Amino acid sequence: MEVKDFPDGEMYVRVDTGVEGEDCVVIQSTSRPQGRNLFELLAVLETLKDLGAGKVSAVVPYYGYGRQDRRFMEGECITSKVIAEHVQLHCDEFYTVNVHKEAVMDFFRIPAHNLDAAAILGTYFKEMDLEDPIVVGPDMGAEEMAEKVGAILDCDWDCLEKKRLGPGQVEMKPKGVETAGKDIVIVDDIIDSGGTMLTALKTLKAKHASSVSIACIHPVLTGNIITRLYAAGARTVAATDTIPSQISEISVAPLIADALK
Ligand code: R5P
Tens digits of per-residue pLDDT, 126-175? Answer: 999 899 999 999 999 999 999 999 999 999 999 998 766 776 566 677 77
How far, in Å, is the centroid of ligand 1 from the Cα of 159?
14
Q: Smallest Cα–Cα separation from 201: which of 245, 140, 127, 136?
A: 136
Q: Smallest Cα–Cα separation from 65: which of 49, 48, 78?
A: 78
Ligand 1, residue 67: give the atom nearest the CA: 8
DSSP state of 78: -
- Residue at 229: amino acid letter: L
pLDDT, tens digit, 9 for 90 and up, residues 93-109:
999 999 999 999 999 99
d(CA 147, CA 145): 5
Ligand 1, residue 220: give the atom nearest the CA: 12
Q: Determine the distance from the C-alpha atom of residue 132 to the mean position of all C-alpha atoms in its chain, rounded to a whole number.
A: 27
pTM more than 0.75 = yes
How far, in Å, is the centroid of ligand 1 from the Cα of 112?
24
How far, in Å, is the centroid of ligand 1 from the Cα of 188?
8
Whether the bond between 33 and the residue before it is cis, its omega within 30 degrees of 0, is yes
Per-residue model confidence as pLDDT tens for the chain (261 residues): 999 999 999 999 999 999 999 999 999 999 999 999 999 999 999 999 999 999 999 999 999 999 999 999 999 999 999 999 999 999 999 999 999 999 999 999 999 999 999 999 999 999 998 999 999 999 999 999 999 999 999 999 999 987 667 765 666 777 778 889 999 999 999 999 999 999 999 999 999 999 999 999 999 999 999 999 999 999 999 999 999 999 999 999 999 999 999
Q: Given the residues 55, 162, 163, 175, select the one marked as catalytic.
A: 162
How far, in Å, is the centroid of ligand 1 from the Cα of 132?
26
The residue nearest atom 7 of ligand 1, judged by CA position, is: 190
Ligand 1, residue 189: give the atom nearest the CA: 4
Active site residue 148: no
Ligand 1-lining residues (CB < 6 angstroms): 138-139, 141-142, 188-197
The residue nearest atom 8 of ligand 1, judged by CA position, is: 190
Q: Smallest Cα–Cα separation from 172: which of 164, 181, 180?
A: 164
Are the CB atoms for 143 and 175 separated by under 8 Å?
A: no
The 236-240 sheet, strands edge to edge: 169-174, 157-166, 133-137, 183-191, 211-219, 236-240, 248-250
d(CA 10, CA 159): 46
The residue nearest atom 10 of ligand 1, judged by CA position, is: 192
